[in-house]
Amino acid sequence: MVSRATFVYRFGSLDADGNEKSVELEYPEEHAGSLKHFYGATYTHNGVYTQSVRFASGNFGYTVFTRAKGMQTIAAGVEVRDIKSGKTSTVSCSERPRFYIYELQGFVGCDTETPVGRACIR
């Protein structure tokens, strides 16, 4: 069976009406076969539950995440890591995101770069 599903990460800004204004990053450029470029994970570390999707583009690694303690979201955003220097910056979400990570289960690879080692979407 051939999967025609694609997954694309887009980052940019919206206008005052909530319509797309500009796209600063779209990954990957080629949408066919895009799922193989992403890694997903759900895991608990130090009492914090995390859902994340990771990919690398150029000299940077990106991790889109939500973190929660109990039923309360404590953080959400995108961590951007310079692969050469290891320096990481975080862009926080301005509102609670809708993250449907379980729809990616079985379609993206397990993430080996989490604080708990290899983690998959479970």
88-122 pLDDT, tens digit per residue, is 999 998 777 777 899 999 999 999 999 999 999 99
Contact, 48 vs 57, CB < 8 A?
no
> What does the domain layout of the chain look like in residue ranges?
37-119
CA 71 from centroid of its chain's CA atoms:
20
The mean predicted confidence, pLDDT, of the chain is: 90
Question: pLDDT tens across 1-55, in order?
Answer: 445 788 888 888 878 888 888 888 889 988 888 999 999 999 999 999 999 999 9
Contact, 11 vs 24, CB < 8 A?
yes
